[in-house]
Amino acid sequence: MTLDGIFNVMIYEPFAFGRSWVHSLDPRFRVVFATVYSFTVALLNQFPSLLFALAFSLVLALMARLNVRDVSKRLFVVFLFLLLIWVVLPFTFEGEAVYSFGTLAITKPGLVFSAQITIKSISILLAFMATIATMTTVTLGRALNRLHIPGKLVHLLMITYRYIFVIEQEYQRLWTAIKIRGFRPKTNLHSYKTYAYLIGMLFVRASIRAERVSQAMRCRGFKGRFYSLGSFPPSSRNWVFSALMASVISLLIILEIS
Amino acid sequence: MHISEGVLSGPVFLTGGALAAVGTAVGLKKMDYDRIAQVGILASAFFVASLVHVNIGPSSVHLILNGIVGLMLGWAAFPAILVALTLQAVFFQYGGITALGINTLIMAFPAVVCFYLFGPLIKKKHFIAMAASFACGFFSVLFSAVMLGGALIFTQENLQEVSFLVVMANLPVMIIDGIITAFCVAFLKKVHPEILYGFR
C-alpha cells in the first residue's frame, strides 16, 4: 500500500452540520451528558440494561438524523475489531463449553464477554456520533472552555485542530516532491530512511511555523488567554434533553442493579 | 495502538483515566504559554505523521512515533497526545470518551519514560545517539503494547492469550518505529536541533 490511500479518509466532520433537534442543543449539555452516559454504559454488565442502552443510542442517532452511510462507514472499522473478538475470545476463555470440536471449545463466558463488548462499543460510539460529533471542533472547544476545562488544554486543542489541515498540506507537498524524484516505497532501509526524513522534515516545518505563529500572536497582544466570543443562548430544549438523559441514565442503573 | 470503547472493566479505565489526568496536569504545568503554539503544532504533525503507513513485506503498518514525541516534548507529551487522540475521536470515531484517558496513558507514559531514559544519550556521539534513538523508538512502542496487554489482563484474566498476541503483533511496529526514530533523530540533530527537548 502506498501513502496515497491515507488521506482518502479526508479529515472532515461529516456530522457537524445539521438541522436536527440534537444539533440545536447547547453543546455544554451535550458534552456533559454524553460523558456521563458513556461512562454509565461502559460500566454495565447485565444484558437487559445493555440492550436498553443500545436501543437508546440508536434513538439518539435517529434524533440527530445522522447520515446512514457515514455512520456505517465509521462503524465498519469497529466491526472489523469486533469480528476479531468473536473469532478469538469464545475459544480462549475457560469455562463451560457450549460446543466443542476436537481440542477446541466455544465457551459460554467467552460468548457472553464478546456480546457485552459488542453492545457496549456500538452503543458508546453511536451516542458519541449523535451528541459530540454533531458539533464542530471549534464549538467543542468553546463548550469545554465554559465547562472549566483548563484554559491551556483547550487552547492546545484549538491550535492542534487549526494546524492539522495546514500540516497535512505540508505533508502532501513533501510527498509529491518525493514521488517526483521517483521514490517507490519498499521494504528496505532506503525506504525507511526516506520516511524518517519525511517525518523529520514535517516536524521541523511544524516547529518553525510554530515559532512564527507564536511571534505573530505576541505581536497582536496575546497575553495567554483565548477569549471565546459568543454565547450559548438558553432554551427550554436543553432542559428537556437533560431530563431525558437523566431518566435514561437512572433507568440503566436500575436495570443493572435489579 | 489503542483500546476500543467498551472493552475494559470499570476499575481499569477509571484508574487509567485518573493517571492520564495527573500526567496531563504535570505536562500543562511544565508548559508555559510561550510554548503552547510549539506543542500544539507539533501535536498536529504527530497526528498527521501517525497516519503514515510504512510498507513491511506485503503488508503495511502505521507508525506510532510516541518515542519521538517524548524526545521533543518531555512531559508535554501527555497533553499533546491527549489532544491528538481527542481529535482522532472527533474525526474518525475510532474511540469515544471512556477509553480516552487510558489510551492517552498507554501512549504518553512510555513517551515520558523514554524521554528520561534516552533523552540524555541522544546528545552523545553519533553511534551512541543512533543506538539510543533506535532504543527510544523500539521501547516506547514495546512499553505501550505491554501496558495495553496489562490493561486487558486486569480486565479479564482470560485475556492473557490476547494480550500476548497484542505484544507479539506489535513487534514489527517496534522495529520499524525504532529504525524511523533513529534516522529521524539524526536528521533533527543536524537540521533543527532545538526541536529536541534537551537541546535547548
Note the pLDDT of residue A1.
Answer: 33
How far apart are the C-alpha atoms of A40 and A127, rounded to whole Å?
Answer: 12
CA distance A126 to chain B (A): 9
Distance from CA of B56 to the nearest CA of A (A): 5
CATH entry, B10-199, from 1.10.1760.20, 1.20.1300.10, 1.10.287.1770, 2.60.300.12? 1.10.1760.20
ipTM of the complex: 0.93
More confident of the two residues B29 and A231: B29
What residues contact residue A166 under an 8 Å CB cut-off, 6+ apart?
A209, B44
Q: Are A156 and A251 within one domain?
A: no
Do A61 and A179 have their domain in common? no
Q: What is the pLDDT of residue B200?
A: 55
Specify whether A164 is located in the same domain as A184.
yes
Contact (Cβ atoms closer than 8 angstroms) between residue B99 and residue B114: no
Asked if A36 and A122 sit in the same domain, the reply is yes
Local confidence band at A2 (pLDDT 50, 70, 90 cut-offs): very low
Write out the three cell numbers for B128. 551512541
Q: Where in chain B are the domains?
A: 10-199
Q: What pLDDT score was predicted for residue B156?
A: 86
Q: Do residue A182 and residue A242 come from a single domain?
A: no
* Length in residues, chain A: 258
How close does chain A come to B40, measured CA to CA in Å? Answer: 5
* Secondary element (H or E) of residue A101: strand A97-101
How far is it, in rounded angstroms, from Cα A50 to Cα A40? Answer: 10
Residue A8 has pLDDT above 50, yes or no: no
Query: Would you state the pLDDT for residue B57?
Result: 78
Whether A23 and A73 map to the same domain: the answer is: yes
Residues 80-139 of B with CB under 8 A from A: 80, 82-84, 86-87, 89-94, 96-98
Residue A3 pLDDT: 44
The contacts of residue A191 (CB under 8 Å, 6+ apart) are A183, A185, B54, B55
Alpha-carbon distances of B57 from A7, A172, A222, B174, B180, rounded to whole Å: 22, 24, 50, 15, 16
B-chain residues near A152 (CB < 8 A)? 28, 31, 33, 36, 79
Distance CA B81, CA B97 (A): 15
Q: Distances in Å between the alpha carbon of A4 and those of A10, A97, A185, B63?
A: 11, 47, 11, 16
Work out the angle between the directed axes of helices A137-146 and B77-92 (0-180°, nearest 10).
130
Q: Which of residues 141-160 of B touch A (CB under 8 A)?
A: 156, 158-159
**A71 in a domain, yes or no?**
yes
CA A216 remoteness from chain centre? 32
By Cβ distance, the residue of B5, B68, B195 closest to A121 is B5
Q: Verify that A29 and A51 share a domain, yes or no.
A: yes
In angstroms, rounded to a whole number, what is the distance separating the alpha carbons of residues A130 and A38? Answer: 12
Cβ-based contacts of A10 with chain B (< 8 Å) = none
- Tally Cβ neighbours within 10 Å of residue B34: 12
Average pLDDT, chain A: 88
Query: Is residue A10 assigned to a domain?
Result: no
Q: Which three cell numbers stand for residue B44?
A: 498536529
Chain position carrying cell 447547547: A26
Does the pLDDT of residue A17 top 60, yes or no?
A: yes
Alpha-carbon distance B132 to nearest alpha carbon in chain A (angstroms): 16
Q: Say if residue A59 is in the same domain as residue A131.
A: yes
Q: What is the pLDDT of residues B22-38, one digit of tens each?
A: 999 999 999 988 889 99
pLDDT at A12 over 80: no
Q: pLDDT grade, residue A5 (50/70/90)?
A: very low
User: Rounded to whole angstroms, how far apart are CA atoms B91 and B85?
Assistant: 10
Task: Give A148-193 pLDDT, tens digit per residue.
Answer: 899 899 999 999 999 998 999 999 999 999 999 999 888 889 999 9
Least confident of A52-61, A93-102, A151-160, B40-49: A93-102
Closest CA to B47 of B92, B99, B87, B89: B87
Has residue A78 got a pLDDT over 50? yes
* Any domain includes A199: yes
pLDDT value of residue B50: 86
Q: Are residues A107 and A183 in the same domain?
A: no
Does position A199 have pLDDT exceeding 90, yes or no?
yes
Whether A121 and A203 share a structural domain = no
Same domain for A252 and A149:
no
pLDDT, averaged per 10 consecutive residues of chain B (200 residues), comes to 86 95 95 89 92 83 92 95 92 84 95 94 89 95 95 88 89 94 94 83
Task: List the one residue out of B80, B95, B2 whose CA is nearest residue B47.
Answer: B80
The whole-angstrom separation of Cα B46 and Cα B44 is 5
> How many structural domains are present in chain A?
2
Q: Judge: B8–A42 Cβ closer than 8 Å, yes or no.
A: yes
How much is the average pLDDT of A97-123?
87
Split at pLDDT 50, 70, 90, the class of A11 is low
Count CB neighbours of B197 within 10 A.
16
Domain, as residue range, for A162: 145-219
Task: Judge: A140–B65 Cβ closer than 8 Å, yes or no.
Answer: no
Residues A151 and A206 in one domain: yes
Compute the distance between CA of residue A72 and CA of residue A129 in angstroms, rounded to an integer: 11
Cβ-Cβ contacts under 8 Å, B52 against chain A: 3, 6, 195, 198-199
From the CA of A48, how many Å to the nearest CA of chain B?
A: 16
With a cut of 50, say whether residue A201 has pLDDT above it: yes
